[in-house]
Structure 1
Amino acid sequence: MDKPTKSFFKLSETIDCPVCKQSIILYDLPKSEYTVCTFCFSYLHIIAKGFSRLNKQLSKPEKTPLLKLGSTANIHNTDFKVIAYLEKREVGTIYHWREYILTSIDKGYITLSEFDGHWNLIGGKDFIADYQDPISYGTSLGYKDVEYALFNKYTPIVTAMLGEVDWDVVNEKVKAMEYIAPPYMVVAEETSNGKRIKDYYIAEYLEPAIIAETFSIDKKLIPERIGIGANQPSKHYDRWTSSLQITGIAIVLVLLIHLLLGIVKPEKELLNDDFLISHNNTQDVNEFKSFVTPAFTIDDESSNISFEIASAVDNNWLETTIVLVNESDNRTWEVSKSIEYYHGYEEGESWSEGSTKESILLSEIPKGKYHLNVYPSSGDIDRNNLYIKATSNVTMWRNTLITIFLLCIYPAVCWYMMRNFEKNRWNNSDYSPFVNEE
């Protein structure tokens, strides 16, 4: 919407109310057929220039119109004049709202509706330059390759009015359906005054600040928003989609870095052997003789080392302490790991637990020549082998996956907030897609 500009509408004229004899200002007399007296609120049918007759008596509007009748504004590069104010309610409910009818010189009517502080600009094919007839899919509509979901069905009635229009807005019988794809809405109206006619209108959600700016109204006078509007855009949705895109790019970069490190620092096998072990008869009943492995070299300035140990334990255990020794300065790193494997048959079913192999990881091991001091022990005194494999520069998928998980936290929070926003929106509808999740 653009700032108000000077309009070139015809000057207003007056007619006398046949009920209270007061003068009524008409802002669009050449097209006006129905008007309301601002003094006695009689709904009048204009039958000739300067003459009208009573159609029915209306109630006084409950609220003072926020947009002044006769005021002008430039909306989407077209000058419009406010010519009518309607108060409506939904039959059989307490829901009520307000509508302002605006007219232009060459693009017909548009409507500004306000419900609980939520504003919509509603226009038809005369106003929308690239208008296309929506396609019905039952509980949804297709408009310009976008699917609009059914949000509401209702029968509106006019309870009060000021201003003028060119059709019998008070007595017309309308059934309306609203389909949403925020920030837009398709309104389907079926009138049955003699014959059934269905018309479609496209609504766009407007922020209250836009209304204040366009009509030069103090923002403090704009009604506060209550709840979530039917087609109110979700900031959480925008955050979710943007965070999803950024996170996707970040995850790809993390994976590329992970693969690049694997190329720059490929895995290197340092040790791979099956060692004979024997029970130490002079020591503790479970203790085996220690041994020293052949030396190996780490060429990178800093590397991780993965140790894989294995032994064919059967309903028993084996534990080993491995001490990595730097042969130049005798610096050591010590780790311990146990292997346990048990199995059996109980109550007609076989069971097993544990494994015959385990792994251990050391990080940030500096460059140098090393060997291992190994101290095994086992509950099986006849155990005679211990397999050890040592590998440097092992691919650290765990760290990469943790990084990816942390990257996904923010979009997950945005998704939750977006979903919660949508659930609250659809609480106002009888056609909520979330109803089966309760």
Structure 2
Amino acid sequence: MNVPCFNCNTTTNLDVNFDVKTFACPNCVTVYKQTRDEGLKYANKFKPYSFDGKLKLGSIGTFDNKQYTITGLIVKSNEGYEWVEYVLQGKADDYLYLSESAGHWTLLEQIDFDKKVGNHPKTIDYENQVFHRFDWCFPKIEAAQGFFDFDIFDSAELIEYIKPPLVLSFDRLGREQTAFLGKYIEARKVKKAFGVSSIPVRRGIGMAQPFYLNVGNLAITLCVVALLILLSNWYLNKDRVANEVLNTGLDYQTYANKEFISPSFVLRGSAAPLTISLYSGVDNSWASVQVALVNEKTSEEVYASKDIEYYHGYSEGESWSEGSNSESFNLCGVPEGKYHLAITPSKAPEDVNTKSVQIKAVWSSPSMRNVWMIVIFMAVVIMGMFYADQYFENKRWEDSRN
């Protein structure tokens, strides 16, 4: 369809498959209305408006492998809030409607909806889903471009209900009601659909924008994972008992210049800490024990050392003491295998009274510490996502009249 604009002498050429009732010149935003005898006739002219950043009239976009052409776009506003509505015509005379507000996009299509919503009920049902009232208004037309099968100046009421990422939108003109079902669409998909690289930057939270993830599904998933971890840990270790692999006394003098090599021992089952307990009768002195756990199959060695210190005395009328004759430490996460211990004890050279150190090594049941740390971490994640979701929803509904 070729339409010349008598205001700016620009001719707009675009194939449309409907009877045009209103035409808005894309160059000078002069508006023409269809008349019975004279065809399109001058009706109005918008104030100058910059369409920079908007999708262009005549642009072709692909949705669900179908091509659609932008045949018209209308810029609307209400109480300082502005959005753009695009009419998309398909090759099979089907239509989609694309709405952009603050960089948030919604793709809509017309549906049949018999229930009237002029009284603005708080909720409405559609296809077994409950939608909540978000807002209603009589929007003002700021500018327009292209061809329309309706009078764009008709004062229609807009009523919107949401169940993110879905939205139900109603245009009411008198007793006539037109319903649209829409779904939030990511900006990158709009770019891909129209083959453009620049579109309005997203600001704030969109009316139908979904939260970044489904908190309910996340909670269920993490709870199931936590339960599986607890059950697996219980099953793998339900028959486990403490396994004492060494209990001996070592003479400091005998092992002053050599290592004590323990008998070999075999550990079977899931990884668990090897707890090494030490006792030496040091008195105002110290002793030290160095331990190496040697995997006899891989020759891998794990080293650890521990000091035993005990001091006491009497000062300023009061007795005092620090340290202990006993110490213990863990070699964490020791897996099954065949091992032996290489131990080197030592003591203070001036200590002639302390003769030996008692060493006991026990491979115990696996520590639940890591299991509970994982469970607690998942619980914290769920709580964090829950509060983030609540904050997200509160921000969404800040400007709503619900």
- The alignment's TM-score, normalised by the length of structure 1, stands at 0.56
Aligned partner of 2:401 among 423, 430, 435 = 430
**CA deviation map 1:364-414 (0-9, x unaligned):** 9xxxxxxxxxxxxxxxxxxxxxxxxxxxx99x9999877644441221122
Could you say which residue in structure 1 is the equivalent of 2:186?
Answer: 207
Following superposition of structure 1 onto structure 2, how do residues 296-315 of structure 1 map, counting pairs within 5 Å?
none
Select between 396-405 and 22-31 the one with higher mean Cα deviation: 396-405
Letter in 2 for 1:86: I
Partner Cα distance (1:117, 1:140) in 2: 27
Could you say which residue in structure 2 is the equivalent of 1:62?
Answer: 50
Aligned partner of 2:103 among 110, 117, 126 = 117
Could you say which residue in structure 2 is the equivalent of 1:187?
Answer: 169
Cα 1:254/1:24, change in 2 over 3 Å: closer
Partner Cα distance (1:135, 1:255) in 2: 53
Following superposition of structure 1 onto structure 2, how do residues 19-58 of structure 1 map, counting pairs within 5 Å?
19=7, 22-28=10-16, 30-47=18-35, 51-58=39-46
The DSSP-based 3-state class of the residue aligned with 2:142 is: strand
Following superposition of structure 1 onto structure 2, how do residues 395-414 of structure 1 map, counting pairs within 5 Å?
404-414=375-385
Could you say which residue in structure 2 is the equivalent of 1:87?
Answer: 75
Following superposition of structure 1 onto structure 2, how do residues 274-353 of structure 1 map, counting pairs within 5 Å?
none
Could you say which residue in structure 2 is the equivalent of 1:223?
Answer: 200
- The alignment's TM-score, normalised by the length of structure 2, stands at 0.61
Q: Contact conserved, 2:29 with 2:46, CA < 8 A, in 1?
A: yes
2:227 is equivalent to residue 252 of structure 1: yes
Cα 1:143/1:191, change in 2 over 3 Å: same
Cα 1:134/1:78, change in 2 over 3 Å: farther
**CA deviation map 1:280-304 (0-9, x unaligned):** xxxxxxxxxxxxxxxxxxxxx99xx
Could you say which residue in structure 2 is the equivalent of 1:388?
Answer: none
Total equivalences in the alignment = 287
* Structure 1 segments unaligned to the other structure (5+ residues): 1-12, 126-130, 267-300, 303-363, 365-392, 432-438
Deviation at 1:245, TM superposition (A): 2.7
2:218 is equivalent to residue 243 of structure 1: yes
2:174 is equivalent to residue 233 of structure 1: no
Give the percent of matched residue pairs that are identical in Structure 1 and Structure 2: 22
Letter in 2 for 1:421: F
Partner Cα distance (2:13, 2:378) in 1: 63
2:137 is equivalent to residue 154 of structure 1: yes
Q: Contact conserved, 2:18 with 2:149, CA < 8 A, in 1?
A: no
Partner Cα distance (1:40, 1:397) in 2: 73
**CA deviation map 1:325-350 (0-9, x unaligned):** xxxxxxxxxxxxxxxxxxxxxxxxxx
The DSSP-based 3-state class of the residue aligned with 2:83 is: strand
**CA deviation map 1:300-334 (0-9, x unaligned):** x99xxxxxxxxxxxxxxxxxxxxxxxxxxxxxxxx
The DSSP-based 3-state class of the residue aligned with 1:224 is: coil
Cα 1:264/1:203, change in 2 over 3 Å: same
* Structure 2 segments unaligned to the other structure (5+ residues): 242-268, 273-329, 331-363
